[in-house]
Structure 1
């Protein structure tokens, strides 16, 4: 098929024939615009649908990723013209009788970095081989995606709105690539996982997907929401030696600021922003104050979860056993401080009275410093603390609340420490356990993880890919057990919590993971986040 043409709503696309690692043929269509370029007057605007083109558009090459800053070199990668997606399908031409499930990948990176379309970062080999259509999307990042000035020209949550626009495009066009528009699963890791949960909560995304997988991220994680993005934005002109006091002039100033100046100065502003927890990204999703526009989100996420105001679709959620290892690279000063001072309460992202802090400090020390877990390293307690504050606490509480209404919530703990553990290998973290994002390498192919893969690693990869794609196909991650999938994964039960432990062996576990810590965070969220 040298002349590989697919016609979508906006025009014709020419794709490319590719092969997986196992020499399985598939078809790639890259750099497809799903929205107008968000440039000039659209810099901070709500995304608008893409426009039609004439002739055949070349979809054999990747296009821009979304603009982001490399902190070390202070160089900008990507571009503001970045709202593109890639589609990979195992079969063409389209045939409605053989339509396949669709999996839409939402990348992580703290809402500041990452992409969904660079082949060297992630290719769909393993998912494609399971007869699933794979879609990777870009969305605006940092201040470009999440500036919130309480005005229609910059309402906030533009990056999440981009995701909605991409899902609308997919629903309209994926059948042309043999995808089933009525069987779409969204999945993501870290900020991508939080995005998945945000999409479940936003009325704007209703009907655009049918299943969801959130790996190591939740809307209840403190770093995924900022209630005062505007104050952070006002620091930017000050750092450039200019004083601005009103919203209108701030908007005009930021809209016209050269891209590199905007990105560099927004990160400098972030560095002056006080925060609790181990990690912080500043320009992230927010609760909007709509005035003449449809909000993506206008209520706190805990309130929505408690009230059951979310899309009730089959849902996988989970975490890695030592998420807090990430803090060694993203918040090392926090690790050093908590090890030195052993003052734990000050890192909790909740507003509390001094009396409550004193009582809670004693409880925290009993759990983290005097617990029954054997201590191997002097900083183990700090890793556990930031595992819970930054990730596990919010992830567990959100899944528990969703399971009150939804009988199809599957929870997991990923504890396997192998050759495909993504972030540990990428960041060179030489510690035992599964770090934040480590399960990524067992689902998405990445070039830097191509060597040193053991037979056990390959088995783990096959298990996870099978469970994820079976879930996308049927809503059940283990519709049958065999030599690969040795355990039936049960959803959270009405009678109590249960979860799948993913390690060298698959094991169903009764009760909550990390039970004392899980109970603590349920109480903290209920006390300090309930409106």
Structure 2
């Protein structure tokens, strides 16, 4: 019996040594796991590595701090870290200690091109976790190193009061800090810090474009791929989003007048209070789809992500120029029209006051007579059959095309016109419909 136990123990120890892998970094040792790709290629996965200090207490709403070394202990990166606060079915998978990144590599030797994936979600949902949108199984069939990461979301990531307490853009500064981490440490994982490609989808695509425009991001990457979004929508960039900040404060039962007192109160609230008030942050349904705004920061002594309007930066050609692939798919945001038209409450709003609610859904300047007039013209252009009554499914095609053009197409074409005179851009329109195609 004892002999059998010893044999089983030796087998277990042998198997565990095969299943794990360790790497030494300047911060300390990291333990990962050995996995296989879609085609059966073995690779190493280091998941949930902290790249910043947890953004708690006084670190809420402001620039992130680099993670402190954890040596002499070993950091366990064998499983995904938590996602940043957001509504989710399994809230045990959510934490404010979420500034983590994942590194996937086939070999710790040599220097392979690095791809950094910036996840979608409108800057308020999703994550870089491997089990959802950012899994490595396909990429690891290729000769590259893949990095995916989390950044702060919603009010915790993009509260912008126009003051030193919450200057804005914290989630994008998280991304910058992750890119700096990659420059310093990715060679330990077989990645080439001199060959970094940013790959972003939707909000991630907007992020890639903004990193070309931000002084904080210069030199941290060398190519970009922007899929299905750009930062040049119809609403101008401002230095604050105090209206949305006060809405969040009201939902959290914080004072809304002295900004310093408001933010101090919001710093003390549990992150679950932010999650539970998500629905109240939107005008109706999940509209506007881009609710938290990127802002031009005033100088309060902090390192600033944007120092002027991206329109001004692009027109002057004074941005970080890298080769870029960018494109859109046919019927972008058809899903937005689909879900709105299946919601009786939202359809009732559109039928009662199309000009007001369409201005919000189409990301036009709110409470503007010009926006309301534009909404009326767009309805006549895209949905002439619905002038009496919007209904599903009759209005789906026209409204889907309207959402596609208004939410993605306009900013995409502006992006091309503004940036292409200064840097090489290769563009595409994706129309293929395959067996796994779904409404997105």
TM-score band w.r.t. shorter chain: 0.7 to 0.9
Q: Deviations over 1:286-309 (max 9, x none)?
A: 222222222101322222222223
Q: 1:13 aligns with which of 11, 15, 30?
A: 30
Structure 2: gaps (5+ residues)? 1-16, 386-392
Please give the root-mean-square deviation of Cα atoms over the aligned residues, in Å: 3.1
| Contact 2:233–2:363 (Cα < 8 Å) also in 1 | no
Offset of 1:221 from its aligned partner? Answer: 3.4
**Structure 1 pair 150/343, CA: closer, same or farther in 2 (3 Å)?**
closer
| Aligned position for 2:96 | 80
TM, length-normalised to structure 2: 0.83
State whether structure 2 residue 57 is matched by structure 1 residue 40.
yes
**Structure 1 pair 251/23, CA: closer, same or farther in 2 (3 Å)?**
same
Distance (whole Å) between structure 2 residues aligned to residue 222 and residue 75 of structure 1:
35
Q: 2:294 aligns with which of 285, 309, 319?
A: 285
Correspondence 1:140-289 to 2 at 5 A: 140-221=152-233, 228-240=240-252, 243-265=255-277, 267-271=279-283, 279-289=288-298
**Structure 1 pair 341/403, CA: closer, same or farther in 2 (3 Å)?**
same
| Contact 1:226–1:282 (Cα < 8 Å) also in 2 | no
**Structure 1 pair 242/157, CA: closer, same or farther in 2 (3 Å)?**
closer
Q: 1:117 aligns with which of 129, 135, 151?
A: 129
Distance (whole Å) between structure 1 residues aligned to residue 363 and residue 136 of structure 2:
38
Distance (whole Å) between structure 1 residues aligned to residue 133 and residue 373 of structure 2:
46
Q: Deviations over 1:302-347 (max 9, x none)?
A: 2222222321101011111101312136644667766888769845
State whether structure 2 residue 44 is matched by structure 1 residue 27.
yes
Q: 1:349 aligns with which of 342, 348, 364?
A: 364
| Aligned position for 1:135 | 147
**Structure 1 pair 77/228, CA: closer, same or farther in 2 (3 Å)?**
farther
**Structure 1 pair 101/223, CA: closer, same or farther in 2 (3 Å)?**
farther
Q: Deviations over 1:177-228 (max 9, x none)?
A: 1111000000111111111111111010000000001111111136997764
| Contact 1:142–1:284 (Cα < 8 Å) also in 2 | no
**Structure 1 pair 325/161, CA: closer, same or farther in 2 (3 Å)?**
same
Q: 1:388 aligns with which of 405, 419, 422?
A: 405
Q: 2:425 aligns with which of 409, 412, 422?
A: 409
| Aligned position for 1:399 | 416
| Aligned position for 2:10 | none
| Contact 1:26–1:89 (Cα < 8 Å) also in 2 | yes
**Structure 1 pair 61/234, CA: closer, same or farther in 2 (3 Å)?**
same
Structure 1: gaps (5+ residues)? 371-375, 430-434, 436-531
